[in-house]
Amino acid sequence: MLLRMPLEKVHREKAFLKARGARLRFATSLLLIGGKPVHFMLDSQDDMGDPKAATTATQKRVDDNVAGVIGHLNSGATLPASKVYSDAGVP
């Protein structure tokens, strides 16, 4: 899973809390696919709240076969990145 949002300046505390909450959720979740347990790993990435940076970074993770995404924080980064996710079938 990918957590994508600005990680610096005014958003640092919010990003920290979201990442902490996601890690706690994954640590306490048991998901089975085909009877086999699935393990989550959270990869926090800084999209800088910038559309171009978010799209470029998103394409890299899509190319790495990311399973899912939590984020982005603002619509400026979400909207352009969402097309990349959608085209790749990433939820």
Domain spans, the chain = 2-88
Spell out the CATH class of 2-88: alpha beta
Residue with tokens 């809390």: 17
Distances (CA, A) of 13 to 6, 16, 26, 27: 10, 5, 20, 21
pLDDT for 10: 66
Task: Please state, rounded to an integer, the average pLDDT across all residues of the chain.
Answer: 80
Tell me the pLDDT tens digit for each residue of 14-38: 777 777 777 777 776 777 778 888 7
pLDDT for 87: 95
pTM here is 0.63
Determine whether 76 is exposed, middle or buried from the number of CB atoms within 10 Å of its CB (0-12, 13-18, 19+).
Answer: middle
